[in-house]
Amino acid sequence: MSDNIQQLREYSTRLIRMGESVSLLFWDQQTYMPTGAANVRAEQIAVMSEFIHKQRTSDEAHKLLVNAEADAKSFDPDSDDARLVAQTRRHYDLMTKLPSEFVAELSRQQALGHEVWVQARKENSFAKFAPTLERIFDLTRQKAEYYGYKDHIYTALLDEYETGTTYTDVVNVFSEMKPYAVALAHAIAASTNPVDSSPIIGEFDIPTQRALTLQVVKQLGFDFNRGRQDEAAHPFCSNASRDDVRLTTRFDRTYLQQALYASLHEAGHGMYEQGSPERLEGTILAGGTSLGVHESQSRLWENLVGRSRSFSKWVFPIVKDHFPQLKNTDAEGFYRAVNKVEPSFIRVEADEVTYNLHILLRFEMECELLTGKLAFKDVPEAWNAKMTEYLGITPSTDSEGCLQDVHWSEGLIGYFPTYTLGNLISAQLFHALRREHPNIEADFETGNFAPVLSWLRENVHSHGAKFLPHEVVLKATGEPLNSKYYVDYLNTKFGDIYAL
Amino acid sequence: MSDNIQQLREYSTRLIRMGESVSLLFWDQQTYMPTGAANVRAEQIAVMSEFIHKQRTSDEAHKLLVNAEADAKSFDPDSDDARLVAQTRRHYDLMTKLPSEFVAELSRQQALGHEVWVQARKENSFAKFAPTLERIFDLTRQKAEYYGYKDHIYTALLDEYETGTTYTDVVNVFSEMKPYAVALAHAIAASTNPVDSSPIIGEFDIPTQRALTLQVVKQLGFDFNRGRQDEAAHPFCSNASRDDVRLTTRFDRTYLQQALYASLHEAGHGMYEQGSPERLEGTILAGGTSLGVHESQSRLWENLVGRSRSFSKWVFPIVKDHFPQLKNTDAEGFYRAVNKVEPSFIRVEADEVTYNLHILLRFEMECELLTGKLAFKDVPEAWNAKMTEYLGITPSTDSEGCLQDVHWSEGLIGYFPTYTLGNLISAQLFHALRREHPNIEADFETGNFAPVLSWLRENVHSHGAKFLPHEVVLKATGEPLNSKYYVDYLNTKFGDIYAL
């Protein structure tokens, strides 16, 4: 390693360690922090974040980067060091493209926006939120102009979350998927073989649920020596290095599926972080490469593994040990119950079939709002029309419609498609995995998840954030991202369950 | 407030918020951190601490301080602003008196020292620790020379923990106390009215103990909206602002006193931090003023309140509700059990009577080692001789003797006397409190602790760290610190219990 690379790396490691401390402040805020500490916690996070941002855009940072770039010219462009320099340049450019007054104004509006959204949602009044939303979209449009783009304004926003993926990529994905998803949802609605979800509805003691989720997450391969699981209102996974990965889950006393599958989902994120290679630790190449690839890991474990028939054969006896009231059902009944498809208003509660239609709706509306095709006052009407068209149901209130998600109020625009990309990637990865391990599902029946984890470690986790999302997908599966495998997966699985 | 003061304050607030983040990292390390994260956590803490130290000793910090000092000349020296400037100067001078290479070397030896001590203690071999201890004392001596002192080298060290208190003060305290404490311990040993501690020894379910401690700590007045209680191997209290105070406690399944009184003790520390005035929040004048005054708060709640007969009358029925196996004892039996006096080897398990003799031993040995009167190889022999003289018992191993405390290995020399100062201050404060509330103990019987907390809020907590420890004692009690009240308290209480 050249001295210049070494210096760049050391400078950046210090800031990464401080950033990890900020992650811990966030984690604590959502798990153990006393409520009275909310204001001072916001200050602590703001002070640290501002300091880190200043250091990452400082003259010193720039000088270290320029020196390292001079050295990197002679490196293999796929070497760790060349990628480290290139990624640092990308981050530096992104951060310095926005004038600092603009960053401050955006943060201010996001913080205010969140509060207005909370209130508007409580009062079930989109009208209260509309002016704020318009201001946030104005600033977001301005942000995209600062970043710059070639094809479509949406690409500039998406690039922050899923680097290298364009507006056109997302349009193509949805135009391939949408007809199949809509057709499948309609076929299921008309099925004569409906799913009974009553076995997983009832009274499920929370400490017992906790024990169950811990046992299952451990068996998947999540390393509790380098991580833990706690409770939070909105489940998330946070990490302060590969050696300190924190899962959270949420318990519903009346609905067994909630905590179990939220735990599988977050464990998928967590195992990705734990699998980041040691040699990249403390650099910007450590950890997951994008939101989409991250979501592919969580969805793969939650759905491709966790909602498979063979997984049910393993997990059901364990579930029954914890909750003897399930004695009148069996593994197949459990499998069907956790796979019930039903159009619903709330995205985060949606099943695998309808989920991506919720995302499509948001993607289309974001594009229309950004390009001025849709007026802000008309958001509820447009939302409800799309819900009716795609899912056949119509929200009766703004809260169960266009006010349900936190994202827009916080300026997270261009973010939603990564959820669908994650679903697609999960199926494409699983297909590639099965090419190598044709009988992988037989392992699930005995609770042996090591082959899946090893394969993901080797083909996804071991890259850390060194490669861009589309590079990871290509390396792991041998072809570019496409929706074929996900559509096939849904058709096969739900065609069987619903006897279509 | 002048602009210069305002600027000094803002500069410092940012560093205080970062310091609070470091506190949270420490708290997390001892409560929830996965074991595999130990190395990266050490790095996170080191990076943040080094940064904070650099900023506090930077040219900018110095310039802000000098400007503020110019303004402060015209202020009332007891005003918040004048004290803020004076305290900042004191900290700045202390931090800049040590050359940075020396600070690095001291930290390195402390970290190494801790590891060697852990190993030596495990192997029960002081000889293994002796060379390290000698190096640490050499560096400590050097540190005192950098700081400078007038009377005795010990004063320079003590000043870091208990500003304004001198070697002579500590000598005087012990020369007053020692004869009484030794005589009392001997009289108790010969008493014909021994204490039966069997009611609090047995099997005590930990979740039930946890519920009990939470109920009691809440009743004392600890604000759970701005704090919480968790479990740790070594109980401590940590805070990230007055609005985020974290208590920890430790449960012993077979010894009921452990968790209950550790909880009272830490709650005493915690209520001091929670009572720091809002107007000083985010400045170096926020929080407790010294280790000694902090310990006075913890010991006051633990012992003067918690181990009083009237407190037992209130708490015993609650204890019995939680642990019906205590049905054959009564409040008086419980009171006697938690006040059993018995010479023992381990300081942290010592009763109120013998505790300060453990401290005296350490203080004397530190002085002898610093001034070369005692050779390092002779530490175990000297330790055991003092134990025999003061407590009438002789440790049979180094681990139950001179290797028991972590302090020396971490360079915390000049620290032990603050424990005894805390005991003395607690009794002197309680005496002053009783002058105003002669029937305060009747309130304890009904679980009414508000008058105690209000008095402490007004006379101690409301000063934050604005005044030096001896100023706080004088303001609150009307006289300088002395051992009279503590000696009287012990003689009266234990004379009664042991019918002396």
d(CA B300, CA B310): 14
Q: How many CB atoms lie within 10 A of CB B60?
A: 10
- Please give the Cα distance from A258 to A260 (Å, whole number): 6
Element (H, E) at B245: strand B245-249
Q: Does A47 touch chain B (CB under 8 A)?
A: yes
Does the distance separating the beta carbons of B244 and A48 come in below 8 Å? no
pLDDT in tens, B214-249: 999 999 999 999 999 999 988 999 999 999 999 999
pLDDT of residue B107: 85
- Which two structure tokens, joined as six digits, stand for B394? 């002789």
| Closest CA in chain B for residue A15 | B47
Q: Is A44:B67 a contact under the CB 8 Å cutoff?
A: no
B245-249/A227-231 β-pairing: unpaired
B34 close to A (CB below 8 A):
yes
DSSP B28-73: HHHHT--GGGHHHHHHHHHHHHHHHHHHHTSHHHHHHHHHHHHHHT
Closest Cβ–Cβ partner in A17, A44, A228 for B17 = A44
Q: How many helices (H) and strands (E) does chain B have?
A: 20, 3
For B254, the 3-state DSSP assignment is: coil
CA A416 to the chain's CA centroid: 9
CB contact (8 A) between residue A226 and residue B14 = no
CB within 8 Å of chain A, chain B residues 272-291: 282
Is B105 within 8 Å of B335 (Cβ atoms)? no
> A145 vs chain B: nearest CA distance in angstroms?
33
Helix (H) or strand (E) holding A246: strand A245-249
The answer to whether B14 contacts A227, with C-beta atoms less than 8 Å apart, is: no
A162, A266, A295, A352: the active-site residue: A266
Q: Which two tokens stand for residue A405?
A: 């998600």
The structure tokens listed for A28 are 């604590």
Q: How far apart are CA B312 and CA B164, in angstroms?
A: 37
Q: Is B209 helix (H, G, I), strand (E, B) or coil?
A: helix
Positions of chain B with pLDDT under 70: none
Q: What are phi and psi of A247, to 5 degrees?
A: -90, 150
Q: What is the DSSP letter of A305?
A: I
Alpha helices, H only, A148-249: 153-161, 167-189, 206-220
Q: Are A386 and A361 in contact (CB under 8 A)?
A: yes
CA gap A338, A261 in Å, rounded = 9
The single-letter DSSP state of residue A304 is I
Q: In chain B, what residues touch A54 (CB-CB under 8 Å)?
A: none
A158/A173 Cα distance (integer angstroms)? 14
- The partner residue sitting opposite A34, judged by closest CB among B18, B41, B228, is B228
Partner residues linked to B363 by β-bridges: none
Contact between residue A456 and residue A324 where contact means Cβ atoms under 8 Å apart: no
Contact B224 A41 (CB under 8 A): no
Q: Which two tokens stand for residue B117?
A: 């001590």
CA distance B78 to chain A (A): 28
Cβ–Cβ < 8 Å for B34, B41: no
CA angle B375, B405, B304 (to 5 degrees): 125
Chains A, B: CB contacts under 8 A, how many? 104
Q: SS3 of B339, please?
A: coil
| Residue A380 token pair | 């509820």
User: Which letter does DSSP use for residue A474 in this model?
Assistant: H
Q: Judging by DSSP bridges, how do beta strands B227-231 and B237-239 pair with one another?
A: unpaired
Q: How far apart are CA A394 and CA A385, in angstroms?
A: 7
- Which residue in the set B22, B32, B243 is minimally distant from A37, CB to CB? B243
* Model pLDDT, residue B364: 97
| Pairwise CA distance, residues A302 & A296, whole Å | 10
In this prediction, residue A101 carries a pLDDT of 87
ipTM over 0.95: no
pLDDT of residue B1: 76
Predicted model pTM: 0.94
Cα–Cα–Cα angle for B92, B95, B99, rounded to 5 degrees: 130
**Residue from A32, A45, A231 whose CB has the most chain B CBs within 10 Å, to mutate:** A32
The 3-state DSSP composition of chain B as helix, strand, coil percent (nearest 5) reads: 70, 5, 25
CB atoms within 10 A of CB A292: 28
DSSP helix, strand, coil percent of chain A (3-state; round to 5): 70, 5, 30
pLDDT of res. A111: 81
The C-alpha R_g of chain B, in whole angstroms, comes to: 23
Give residue B392's region: left, alpha or beta (phi > 0; psi -120 to 50): left
pLDDT at B111 (0 to 100): 81
Give residues with Cβ within 8 angstroms of A64, minimum separation 6: A4, A7, A8, A11
- Are the Cβ atoms of A20 and B39 closer than 8 angstroms? no
Q: A247: which strand partners?
A: A229, A237
Report the C-alpha gap between A87 and B357 in whole angstroms. 62
Parallel, antiparallel, or unpaired for β A227-231 and B237-239? unpaired
Residue whose entry in the numeric block shows the structure tokens 């009832």: A202
Is B52 within 8 Å of chain A by CB? no
Minimal C-alpha gap between B467 and chain A (Å): 24
User: Would an 8 Å CB–CB cutoff place B47 in contact with chain A?
Assistant: yes
CB of B11 within 8 A of CB of B38? no
Q: Please tell me the distance from the alpha carbon of residue A336 to that of residue A352, in angstroms, as a whole number.
A: 13
- pLDDT score of B67: 97
pLDDT tens column, B436-494: 999 999 999 999 999 999 999 999 999 999 999 999 999 999 999 999 999 999 999 99
Residue stretches of chain A with pLDDT short of 50: none
Does the annotation count A266 as an active-site position?
yes
* Cα separation values, A143 from A154, A170, A341, A492, Å: 11, 20, 39, 42
Rounded Cα gap, residues B468 and B493, in angstroms: 31
Provide the edge-to-edge strand list for the sheet that holds B237-239.
B227-231, B245-249, B237-239
Chain B partners within 8 Å of A19 (Cβ): none
Dist CA A50 CA A57 (whole Å)? 11
